[in-house]
Amino acid sequence: MNNRNRTAKRMNGKDILFYIVLLVLFLLLSFLISNIAYSKENVKNLELEQYYDGLEDVMLRKVKEYLNENGFRNSGVSLTRVVDSDNHRNYQLIVHHDHIDRMEEYEREELKEILCAFGFQDSYSTFHCSFL
């Protein structure tokens, strides 16, 4: 009887060790799988950012060309964006030029509409223009 009790205790110890090793392997596997999914999401976000960066660069270039061709050389132009959790982008185009300050209000509004029209057509993006 005494030998049987010792054998039973050893098997319980082996069983516990087996379950600990199994648990560690499971945790390691779940960690690896979550990292793979996270990496794929990062690649997707990086591609999306590169896409929008290209659109923003083209838009800024066109705005600056328009301003230079229409008497607003050396204008200060900046584009800022806010991206919310749904990936909706809110852009603010800000233009500074002394000539704009001296324009009539209706002329400034017309210019604002023209400049906002340079915004790319995207259902996730909105554009606002203002002058300093």
pLDDT digits (tens, 9 = 90+) for 9-29: 556 777 788 888 888 888 888
What would the two tokens of residue 43 be? 């690649």
**Nearest Cα to 57, choosing from 81, 33, 35?**
81
pLDDT of the residue at 121: 82
Per the structure, how many domains does the chain have? 1
Structural domain including 48 reads: 2-131
pLDDT of the residue at 38: 60
- Percentage of the chain modeled with pLDDT above 70: 85
Amino acid residing at 20: I
pLDDT tops 90 at residue 33: no
More confident residue, 85 or 57: 57
What would the two tokens of residue 115 be? 């400049």
Please state, in angstroms and rounded to a whole number, the distance separating the CA atoms of residues 20 and 131.
66
- Give the ranges where 2-117 is alpha helix by DSSP (H): 2-69, 98-101, 105-116
What would the two tokens of residue 89 be? 């982008």
The answer to whether the CB of 124 falls within 8 A of the CB of 89 is yes
**Mean pLDDT of the region 102-122:** 90
pLDDT tops 60 at residue 2: no
**Global pTM?**
0.65
- For the chain, give the mean pLDDT: 83
pLDDT tops 90 at residue 101: no
Please state, in angstroms and rounded to a whole number, the distance separating the CA atoms of residues 120 and 67.
17
Please state, in angstroms and rounded to a whole number, the distance separating the CA atoms of residues 31 and 37.
10
Give the DSSP letter of residue 123.
T
